[in-house]
Amino acid sequence: MRTETPVAVKLAEYKPYPFSIDEVRLEFRLVPASTQVRATLKVTPAGNGPMRLDGESLQLKSIRLAPEGSPLADIGSDAFTADEHGLTLHTPPAGPFLLETVVEISPETNSALSGLYMSGGRFCTQCEAVGFRRITFYPDRPDVMSSFKVRIEAEKAAYPYLLSNGTPGEAGDMDGGWHFAEWDDPHKKPGYLFALCAGDYDVLRDSFTTASGAHVDLGIYVDKGEAPRAAWAMDSLKRSMRWDEETYGREYDLGVFNIVAVRDFNFGAMENKGLNIFNSAYVLADESTATDADFEAIESIVAHEYFHNWTGNRITCRDWFQLCLKEGLTVFRDQNFSADMRSRPVQRIKDVIKLRARQFAEDAGPLAHSVRPDTYASIDNLYTSTVYEKGSELIGMLRRQIGPESFRKGMDIYFERHDGQAVTIEDYYACFEAATGKDFSQFRRWYVQAGTPEITVEENWDAASATLTVKLAQSTRPTNGQPVKKPVPVPLLSALLDGKGGHAAAEGQAAEPFLYVLDRESAELVFKLPAGAPRPLLSLNRDFSAPVRLKRMLSRDDRLALVRAETDPFNTWDGLQALIKEEILTLADGSQTVPDTALVAAIGEAVRGALQDPAFAALLTRLPDVGELFLEREPADAVALAAARRKLQASIAVELAAEIADTLAQASPAPYNPGAEQASVRALRSAFIMLLGGRGDAADMLAELYRNAPNMTEQLSALRALTVSAGPGREEALADFEAQWKSNALVMDKWFSVQAGLGSAEDVRRLVTHPDFDLRNPNRVRSVIAAFAMQNLAAFHAPDGSGYRAVEETILAADKANPALGARLLTAFEQWRLLEPKARAEAEACLRRLVAAGLSPNAMDIAHRALDGDTKG
Ligand code: B3K
Ligand code: ZN
């Protein structure tokens, strides 16, 4: 195993590729152990000099070249050099030429799941970011775009379906039981969007007619017998296609759109042109095997990958530093699609929960980086929450500041101006400058500066003059390599609340919400109210209009008053979350032993008041995860925080006992429908089931809920609650679940994940030796190791180091086979410096043992940054 960290790539060193690849022809002879790939590139040089092609783990069989008009001929071995990372043609022709290479690769032994590999006996590919170079020699960079023609040959009985990008061409039988199929993708694309799938599948077929009347054949390719479980994905796909037409005026541009589901996949899904490849977890669902959260994730991921067709594929990134150009923007688009399909405020709250849990944590630790970094060591490690989720927040702030119409106008200019190109963030903002005449150079600081801005708020009410003065100040803590931060424009959607459910008007202002942009280090806002007016309450950062941390010096009573006066659903929820966070911290540090009754009563009151919107009410019962609390106090004691959290949860369960009993006595909605309305009802039922789990005296009721659960959403909630309660019934339910679902891998992932996410280090040791634990399957590895290390923080960060020891060997073994997976698992250590001294020392020792044992370059990049990075700048 190589243990060096990769050499850093720098944005400042970008140079265009000195050749254009006008056309690519690929011919595959598929054999699991030795696939032959013949690539013919039509090349036009843009200058003189050598031609460098990327290539990894390829066995070169032949290389031929033909200046335009001449036949292909072998080139001498002194005309090129091949090394571990590619091939250089020393003196390519000065004019256009054809270059043909033949290589052999071994999909069967490709456990990295990058390039061409086997999953469940079928061929599939993953090329983003740098997998295409594991298939053929090619300039594997996003700014080299070309049209592709593909011919696939394979044994017909074993691989009856042969798929690639674009639309199908000729197909037919060959000698020896083989057959072939040709595909043609006329849209120019970079190598990272290439895809090939071959095997036997069941296919769910449908069609879509675009707004301008074009017919599109839709197909979802799944494991035998699973086609009915792809119905929701298909429905989501058609709704996404319509939504992109209605919202952005973007139509689909080929006659075929296919999705293939594979079980072994490093992440959620991939937007290959016309042939999306999905982790089967985000395709297959029905009421008995999938939860509402699964249905929701499928809807949003199908949409995300589909939306990439315009934001990512037709217009792609010039280089990987611009990754947020396609990812942040496409997340923004999928979040808005989900908000339109479901409840906008509930969607916003869920997006913010995710942002805070993952991105704020990343920003606060040694792995912090800007949304558009200017250097990276391993591109695989750049697919982060900062690039995706914070990237989306930046687009949201842009839209909020310029308004929906100007935003759409800017997007139209972007699609018009850059179709078929590989571009930069600067190109993107130039479109909005053209649309609005505004200058976004200060706004673009958000892209280069890492860290979460903190906004401090000080208020002063002068009753005599009926004047509210608000002092706002922003600062961003230093991050690795960025000791000094400049102010960024922070759009704060705000309102003055009258305490009676409405808004107050200050002089010169209407009684309605307004947008204030804090674009300097500090500012003072003065609101003069009519003489004798009561003090208005200030509602700030409504709808989480800026991805910042607000620091307000308010007492518990003031905060409660603010929650009661709020008119913004996000802030109602967030006001309670802030109170709950404070409460858990106070319980954890021992300065208070029992939860405050007034707070518990206020939570109860809020939940009761929201019962007509059950999904929202469910979110009001939520307690922040232990990881979120790490950011609030240093050093962080995961064990004490988890215990405090449980205490508060138990009190809320007692407070809401009557509502819980009432709600759960009613039948779950039937017949089952995965849509928002029913999912909302089930969200509250599940939240209440989880609260029961915290009570410790509800074992019988939970066992009964488990036995009678009419769908997976409730079956899993009851299983989780029983697992948390650790009382009688836990083992029985886990055994029952295993017996019921042992032949369904996706459901078994849930079984593994419940135990790893809620159990002990001992449970993890047992689970990794379970006969169904499979190191080669990323879903299964994540269902144990990521569930434990990223969700079960009290057990993972146990002060005696037992949590770290339970996972370290598995992380090493996973990394050896699959560096992308290994590196991802290692990010669980990113917060180690925030921990209390014992866990901190154990975490550091574990990281050092992992480094000494030898990690992949990807994982080494994470480990070194985690160990070396000092967040103090
Ligand atoms: N673009 C892919 C992610 C590729 C990850 C490569 N390490 C899926 C997505 O964001 O849509
Ligand atoms: Zn994406």
Per-residue pLDDT tens over the stretch 279-319 = 999 999 999 999 999 999 999 999 999 999 999 999 999 99
146 phi/psi in degrees, rounded to 5? -150, 160
Count other Cβ atoms within 10 Å, centred on residue 73.
10
* Interatomic CA distance for residues 688 and 516, integer angstroms: 38
Bin 113: left if φ > 0, else alpha if -120 < ψ < 50, else beta: left
Kindly give the distance from the C-alpha atom of residue 551 to the centroid of ligand 1, in angstroms, as a whole number.
35
- Take atom 2 of ligand 1 and give the residue whose Cα is closest: 270
Task: Name the stretches of the chain with pLDDT < 50.
Answer: 1-3, 871-873
* Interatomic CA distance for residues 574 and 541, integer angstroms: 10
Ligand 1 contacts CB of residue 695 (under 6 A): no
* Interatomic CA distance for residues 121 and 349, integer angstroms: 41
Ligand 1 contacts CB of residue 327 (under 6 A): yes
Identify the three-state secondary structure at position 98. strand
Residue 526: CA atoms inside 13 Å, Cβ hemisphere, count?
Answer: 5
Active site residue 362: no
* Interatomic CA distance for residues 449 and 441, integer angstroms: 13
Strands of the sheet containing 97-105, edge to edge, are 73-74, 59-67, 97-105, 35-45, 19-29, 146-155, 178-189, 167-173
Contact by Cβ (8 Å): 125, 26? no
Ligand 1 contacts CB of residue 123 (under 6 A): no
Kindly give the distance from the C-alpha atom of residue 626 to the centroid of ligand 1, in angstroms, as a whole number.
28
Query: Which ligand has the nearest atom to the CA of 327?
Result: 2
Identify the three-state secondary structure at position 170. strand
Ligand 1 contacts CB of residue 334 (under 6 A): no
**Whole-number CA gyration radius for the chain:** 28
Show which of 546, 579, 611 is a domain's final residue.
546
Note whether 434 and 532 are same-domain residues: no
* Interatomic CA distance for residues 487 and 174, integer angstroms: 66
Note whether 525 and 641 are same-domain residues: no
Out of 128, 275, 305, mutate this one to test ligand 1's pocket (max ligand atoms within 8 Å of CB): namely: 128
Q: Tokens standing for 619?
A: 């979110």
- Helix/strand/coil (H/E/C) assignment for every residue in 826-853: HHHHCCHHHECHHHHHHHHHHHHHHHHH
Note whether 639 and 708 are same-domain residues: yes
End-to-end Cα spacing for the chain: 32
- Take atom 10 of ligand 1 and give the residue whose Cα is closest: 327
Q: Which atom of ligand 1 is nearest to the CA of 271?
A: 11
282, part of any domain? no
Ligand 1 contacts CB of residue 208 (under 6 A): no
Kindly give the distance from the C-alpha atom of residue 586 to the centroid of ligand 1, in angstroms, as a whole number.
40
Show which of 200, 219, 244 is a domain's final residue.
200
Ligand 1 contacts CB of residue 646 (under 6 A): no
- Take atom 5 of ligand 1 and give the residue whose Cα is closest: 128
Q: Which atom of ligand 1 is nearest to the CA of 312?
A: 1
- Take atom 9 of ligand 1 and give the residue whose Cα is closest: 270
Out of 267, 382, 392, mutate this one to test ligand 1's pocket (max ligand atoms within 8 Å of CB): namely: 267
Structure-token match 């839209």, residue found: 399
Q: Going by C-beta distance under 8 Å and a sequence separation of 6 or more, which residues neighbour residue 203?
A: 161, 219, 220, 221, 222, 227
Q: Going by C-beta distance under 8 Å and a sequence separation of 6 or more, which residues neighbour residue 365?
A: 830, 831, 833, 834, 866, 869, 871
DSSP 8-state assignment for residue 482: B
Structure-token match 């792609």, residue found: 316
377 phi/psi in degrees, rounded to 5? -95, -45
Query: Which ligand has the nearest atom to the CA of 328?
Result: 2
Query: Which ligand has the nearest atom to the CA of 112?
Result: 1
Kindly give the distance from the C-alpha atom of residue 207 to the centroid of ligand 1, in angstroms, as a whole number.
26
Ligand 1 contacts CB of residue 383 (under 6 A): yes
Ion ligand 2 — residues with CB < 5 Å = 327, 330
Is there a cis peptide before residue 478, judged by omega within 30 degrees of 0?
Answer: no
Contact by Cβ (8 Å): 474, 467? no
Note whether 749 and 819 are same-domain residues: yes
208, part of any domain? no
Ligand 1 contacts CB of residue 271 (under 6 A): yes
Contact by Cβ (8 Å): 229, 285? yes
- Take atom 3 of ligand 1 and give the residue whose Cα is closest: 270
Ligand 1 contacts CB of residue 659 (under 6 A): no
34-48 CB burial, b ≥16 within 10 A, e <16:
ebbbbbbbbbebeee
Kindly give the distance from the C-alpha atom of residue 610 to the centroid of ligand 1, in angstroms, as a whole number.
37
Ligand 1 contacts CB of residue 270 (under 6 A): yes
Q: Which atom of ligand 1 is nearest to the CA of 379?
A: 7
Angle of helix 344-354 relative to helix 569-588, nearest 10 degrees?
40
Kindly give the distance from the C-alpha atom of residue 224 to the centroid of ligand 1, in angstroms, as a whole number.
26
Q: Tokens standing for 752?
A: 């593994």
Ligand 1 contacts CB of residue 129 (under 6 A): yes
Note whether 443 and 459 are same-domain residues: no
Kindly give the distance from the C-alpha atom of residue 714 to the centroid of ligand 2, in angstroms, as a whole number.
30
Q: What is the CATH number of the domain that holds 367?
A: 1.10.390.10
DSSP H or E run through 62: strand 59-67
Q: Tokens standing for 545?
A: 């209009």
Q: Which atom of ligand 1 is nearest to the CA of 388?
A: 10
* Interatomic CA distance for residues 273 and 185, integer angstroms: 8
Write down the pLDDT at residue 869: 74
- Helix/strand/coil (H/E/C) assignment for every residue in 110-167: CCCCCEEEEECCEEEEECCCCCHHHCCCECCCCCCCEEEEEEEEEECCCCCEEEECCE
Q: Which atom of ligand 1 is nearest to the CA of 327?
A: 10
Strand ranges (DSSP E) for 391-453? Answer: 422-423
Strand ranges (DSSP E) for 275-314? Answer: 275-279
Q: Which atom of ligand 1 is nearest to the CA of 129?
A: 6
Q: Tokens standing for 823?
A: 């590196």
- Take atom 4 of ligand 1 and give the residue whose Cα is closest: 128
Q: Which atom of ligand 1 is nearest to the CA of 308?
A: 11
Catalytic residue of the set 305, 327, 659, 842: 305
Strands 215-222 and 256-262: parallel
Count other Cβ atoms within 10 Å, centred on residue 186.
12
Angle of helix 569-588 relative to helix 556-565, nearest 10 degrees?
160
Ligand 1 contacts CB of residue 80 (under 6 A): no
Structure-token match 């308010």, residue found: 554
Strand ranges (DSSP E) for 693-768? Answer: none
Ligand 1 contacts CB of residue 382 (under 6 A): no
38, part of any domain? yes
Ligand 1 contacts CB of residue 380 (under 6 A): yes
Kindly give the distance from the C-alpha atom of residue 305 to the centroid of ligand 1, in angstroms, as a whole number.
9
Amino acid in the structure at residue 509: Q
Tell me the C-alpha to C-alpha distance, in Å, between residue 626 and each of 183, 403, 463: 50, 37, 41
Write down the pLDDT at residue 5: 61
DSSP H or E run through 269: strand 269-270
Is there a cis peptide before residue 129, judged by omega within 30 degrees of 0?
Answer: yes
Query: Which ligand has the nearest atom to the CA of 311?
Result: 2
DSSP H or E run through 455: strand 454-462
* Interatomic CA distance for residues 92 and 111, integer angstroms: 35
601, part of any domain? no
* Interatomic CA distance for residues 325 and 780, integer angstroms: 31
Kindly give the distance from the C-alpha atom of residue 683 to the centroid of ligand 1, in angstroms, as a whole number.
29
Q: What is the CATH number of the domain that holds 734?
A: 1.25.50.10
Note whether 657 and 791 are same-domain residues: yes
Strands of the sheet containing 537-539, edge to edge, are 514-518, 490-497, 537-539
Angle of helix 745-758 relative to helix 730-741, nearest 10 degrees?
160
Show which of 183, 200, 217 is a domain's final residue.
200
* Interatomic CA distance for residues 403 and 31, integer angstroms: 54
Angle of helix 323-341 relative to helix 391-402, nearest 10 degrees?
70
Strands 316-317 and 422-423: parallel
Note whether 343 and 486 are same-domain residues: no
- Residue in 393, 421, 399, 424 with CA at minimum distance from that of residue 411: 399
* Interatomic CA distance for residues 81 and 77, integer angstroms: 8
Kindly give the distance from the C-alpha atom of residue 310 to the centroid of ligand 2, in angstroms, as a whole number.
11
29 phi/psi in degrees, rounded to 5? -110, 105
Domain range for 645 is 635-868
Ligand 1 contacts CB of residue 304 (under 6 A): yes
Ligand 1 contacts CB of residue 273 (under 6 A): no
630, part of any domain? no
Note whether 716 and 831 are same-domain residues: yes
386, part of any domain? yes
Note whether 724 and 647 are same-domain residues: yes
CA dihedral in degrees (506, 507, 510, 515; nearest 10)? -70
Q: Tokens standing for 722?
A: 């029983």
Is there a cis peptide before residue 160, judged by omega within 30 degrees of 0?
Answer: no
CA 828 to chain CA centroid, nearest Å: 15
Q: How many domains does the chain have?
A: 4
Angle of helix 657-665 relative to helix 638-655, nearest 10 degrees?
70
763, part of any domain? yes
Q: What is the CATH number of the domain that holds 469?
A: 2.60.40.1840
* Interatomic CA distance for residues 818 and 113, integer angstroms: 7
Ligand 1 contacts CB of residue 389 (under 6 A): no
Write down the pLDDT at residue 872: 42
Kindly give the distance from the C-alpha atom of residue 563 to the centroid of ligand 1, in angstroms, as a whole number.
39
624, part of any domain? no
DSSP 8-state assignment for residue 229: G
Q: What predicted TM-score, i.e. pTM, was given to this entire model?
A: 0.98
Note whether 366 and 477 are same-domain residues: no
- Residue in 726, 819, 813 with CA at minimum distance from that of residue 775: 813
Q: What is the CATH number of the domain that holds 114?
A: 2.60.40.1730
* Interatomic CA distance for residues 524 and 546, integer angstroms: 18
Note whether 84 and 177 are same-domain residues: yes
Note whether 469 and 436 are same-domain residues: no
Identify the three-state secondary structure at position 716. helix
CA 138 to chain CA centroid, nearest Å: 29
Q: Tokens standing for 567?
A: 């008119």
Count other Cβ atoms within 10 Å, centred on residue 91.
11
Kindly give the distance from the C-alpha atom of residue 270 to the centroid of ligand 1, in angstroms, as a whole number.
6
Q: Tokens standing for 870?
A: 């000092």
Structure-token match 């106070």, residue found: 586
